[in-house]
Amino acid sequence: MTHWLIAPIILPALLAPFIVLAARYHITIQRAFSLAGVVAQVVIAAALAWNVSDGSVLLYQLGDWAAPFGIVLVGDQLSTLMVLLTSVLSLFVLLYAIGSGCDNMGKHFHPLFQFQLMGILGAFLTGDLFNLFVFFEVLLIASYGMMIHSGGNARLQAGVQYVLFNLIGSTLFLFALGAIYAEAGTLNMADLAQRVTLIGPEETVGIRIAAVLLLLVFAIKAAVVPLHFWLPSSYAEAPGPVAALFAIMTKIGAYAIIRVYTMVFPPDLEVTAGLHGQWLLPAALVSLAIGMVGVLAARRLDRLITYSVIGSMGMVMVSIALFTPEGVAAALYYIIHSTLAAALLFLIVDMVRNARGSVELTEQPAMAGTALVSGMFFVGAIAMAGLPPLSGFLGKLLVLDAGFDTDQVAWIWATVLISSLISILGFARAGSIVFWKAHSIEPPEVAPEHAPPGVLSAVAAGGLVTLLIAHTVFAGQVHGYTTRMAATLFAPDAYIATVIGTPGKLSTPKEEEEK
Amino acid sequence: MELLVAAVIGAMTAGGIYLLLRLRTFPVILGISLLTYAVNVFLFTSGRLTVGAPPVLRDTLEVYADPLPQALVLTAIVISFGMTAVVVMIALGAFLGSDDDHIDDDPHEHDSHPVEEQP
């Protein structure tokens, strides 16, 4: 049993209180420790991902208690890939936050950042539904603090909406967990996967309700229409780097849906037949359409990006909702792309906000450092709208290909293609208003003081651009990896055998005296 | 007893959802609190209702209460308590900052000048 599997959770959990207690008045020390922690995180995550890339499953039993009685962390290919994605993203986001000075505008940015990482990584690594809830709460309570970082009335008001919506989601999650426990008597995912198959066809009411409630909770996290209303104002009002980190949060919902609805409630399970298999796809198509129409309709750049996040989550969910290995493989490829592209765009919006003073889509004089920012916006917009040559295009092709053999092929192709066209229009309109038309306007006599983005900020955003390009160049390898991963997701025998079969404290047989 | 507990959970949930659909922060926070009470009781009952039974296994024992939901409820209570405190503070901050405790998106939200005082 390797102890490294718990390191991604332990490291930020120790680092955050250390920063609060020992370095609260020294922003430089905070930055150094936070950065060192995140770099270590990337190394650990890469090592874990390398370790399981042959298809093995890592298991960590807390206190050596065997599942299903003890708490377990499980690292398979999917979890470690998401952990690696989160770590890499957080590195660039942290660099940007330091470079733009955003972390110094209010107190406790770095501890909250670390707690947020702890929650996200824990949610990816846990093998237990209740701990998924606990880690959701950890990441949410940190995100509440991050979202209202450095304050402001609009931000606080958006924060209230965000917190309340997520509290309702948490309550729903608890109802779902209670229902599952009442029906199956376990919350360990691997154990649950075995037990739901034993439920007779005449007693499915409870478990069906639980499955739908759980799907609703994850759909709230993934911002699937009609549960997306919390996203636009909270992401738009959050500070730029925080919104960029939040780009991974919607993917947690997608991850949880992939995990639970391929292993615990797989599409061929009779007990929950006709639930998520039928209802998720229409909802995902509507999210895709609404998100991309929102891109065209937005009057502010930050709102535009938030709607493109909803649209790209719609694309991910369309692919997941097929519940085929091809669909999930395409969805995983698109998840990586969409996380990087959304984070890049949120960073660019923050650069525009700092250099221009506002993010309204109105014609204003050219801002400081416009060449660099507009170039990056061009790349980000191409990636997000899914134009060649970047990975958005390839991801979309994979989704279209996965949807080709299904009955709903007309719906999927029509929605994906038309919504792409709309989003291209939306991005082109925004880019031309903010960056091109600016040159035809005379700058005012007394130009307001706005600094161009700093070197470190540009490096952080440039790093994300590089990752997007790498994701395109190595698309074959990445998609091959996600295809192998999807195959193991739909045949989770190795996962279940590792979790249930590994002996721990309780499994050493004793003399049976009772009975 | 099952009927009584189920009715209580149902009543609290209904009241909580009604309050959630209000427009101002105070009733909504009350509604969230009601909902969390309801879900805590619900989690308790997910281990089946037993009266006067110990939650610890012993050799001579015939009936015992499921200890796991009790542990889950403890966690849920702590989390929901903390979350409610956070939301109260943020809502208070938003109210004191803008003199407005509506939680819906109001059309003046993005104006730079503050919302006018109502007489």
The 3 state secondary structure assigned to chain B is CHHHHHHHHHHHHHHHHHHHCCCEHHHHHHHHHHHHHHHHHHHHHCCCCCCCCCCCCCCCCCCCCCHHHHHHHHHHHHHHHHHHHHHHHHHHHHHHHHCCCECCCCCCCCCCCCCCCCC
Q: Is residue A510 situated within a structural domain?
A: no
- B48 contacts on A by Cβ (under 8 Å): 182
Q: Is residue B74 situated within a structural domain?
A: yes
Structure tokens at A439: 């040159």
The terminus-to-terminus CA distance of chain A in angstroms comes to: 34
Q: Is residue A62 situated within a structural domain?
A: yes
Structure tokens at A404: 């080709």
Q: Is residue A205 situated within a structural domain?
A: yes
* Distance between CA atoms of residues A350 and A246, nearest Å: 14
- What DSSP line would sit under A18-80, residue for residue? HHHHHSTT-HHHHHHHHHHHHHHHHHHHHHHHHHHTTS--EEEEGGGPPTTTS-EEEE-HHHH
* Distance between CA atoms of residues A113 and A115, nearest Å: 6
Facing B79 at nearest CB: one of A137, A177, A513:
A137
Q: Is residue B114 situated within a structural domain?
A: no
**Helix (H), strand (E) at residue A293:** helix A276-297
Q: Is residue B20 situated within a structural domain?
A: yes
The residue of chain B with its CA nearest to that of A147 is B90
Beta strand A72-75 pairing with A58-61: antiparallel
Q: Look at chain A and report how many structural domains it folds into.
A: 1
Q: Is residue A513 situated within a structural domain?
A: no
| A506 CB-contact burial (10 Å; exposed 0-12 / middle 13-18 / buried 19+) | middle
Question: CB within 8 A of A454, min separation 6: which ones?
Answer: A99, A100, A101
CA distance B118 to chain A (A): 18
Between residues B117 and A431, the one the model is more confident about: A431
| Interface touch B47/A179, C-beta < 8 Å | no
Half-sphere exposure of A290 (CA within 13 A, CB side): 19
CA distance B87 to chain A (A): 6
CB atoms near residue A341 (< 10 Å): 33
Q: Look at chain B and report how many structural domains it folds into.
A: 1
* Distance between CA atoms of residues A270 and A205, nearest Å: 12
Instruction: Quote ipTM for the complex.
Output: 0.88
Residue A224 φ/ψ, nearest 5 degrees = -85, 135
Q: Which domain holds residue A376?
A: 3-443+451-503
Question: CB within 8 A of A35, min separation 6: which ones?
Answer: A94, A95, A98
Instruction: Please state whether A108 falls in left (phi above 0), alpha (psi between -120 and 50) or beta.
Output: left
- pTM metric for this prediction: 0.91
Does the CB of B78 have a partner CB in chain A at under 8 Å? no
Q: Is residue B111 situated within a structural domain?
A: no
Q: Is residue B103 situated within a structural domain?
A: no
Between residues B14 and A505, the one the model is more confident about: B14
Q: Is residue A25 situated within a structural domain?
A: yes
Does the CB of A144 have a partner CB in chain B at under 8 Å? yes
Q: Is residue A511 situated within a structural domain?
A: no
| Interface touch B90/A177, C-beta < 8 Å | no
The terminus-to-terminus CA distance of chain B in angstroms comes to: 52
**Helix (H), strand (E) at residue A277:** helix A276-297
Facing A161 at nearest CB: one of B32, B40, B103:
B103
Does the CB of A14 have a partner CB in chain B at under 8 Å? no
Q: What is the pLDDT along chain A (515 residues), one digit of tens a residue?
A: 588 999 999 999 999 999 999 888 888 899 999 999 999 999 999 999 999 988 889 999 988 888 788 889 999 999 999 999 999 999 999 999 998 888 888 888 999 999 999 999 999 999 999 999 999 999 999 999 898 888 788 888 888 888 888 999 999 999 999 999 988 888 999 999 988 888 887 788 888 888 999 999 999 999 998 888 889 888 988 888 999 999 999 999 999 999 999 988 888 887 777 777 788 899 999 999 999 999 999 889 999 999 999 999 999 999 999 889 999 999 999 999 999 999 999 999 998 888 887 888 888 877 777 888 888 999 999 999 988 888 889 999 999 999 888 888 899 999 999 999 999 999 999 999 888 887 777 777 666 667 777 888 889 999 999 999 999 999 999 999 999 999 999 988 889 988 888 888 765 555 444 43
Q: Is residue A54 situated within a structural domain?
A: yes
| Interface touch A163/B59, C-beta < 8 Å | no
Facing B90 at nearest CB: one of A134, A144, A181:
A144
pLDDT at res. A508: 54
- Tell me A502's DSSP state: S
The separation between CA A501 and the C-alpha centre of its own chain, rounded to angstroms, equals: 31
pLDDT at res. A514: 41
Q: Which domain holds residue B9?
A: 2-55+63-98
> From the candidates A134, A163, A168, A514, which should be mutated to test the interface with B, based on the most B CB atoms within 10 A?
A163
* Distance between CA atoms of residues A91 and A113, nearest Å: 11
- For residues A27 and A103, is the Cβ–Cβ distance under 8 A? yes
- A148 contacts on B by Cβ (under 8 Å): 90, 93
pLDDT at res. A396: 92
* Distance between CA atoms of residues B7 and B119, nearest Å: 44
Instruction: Please state whether B64 falls in left (phi above 0), alpha (psi between -120 and 50) or beta.
Output: beta
CA distance A437 to chain B (A): 24
The residue of chain A with its CA nearest to that of B40 is A174
| Interface touch A153/B42, C-beta < 8 Å | no
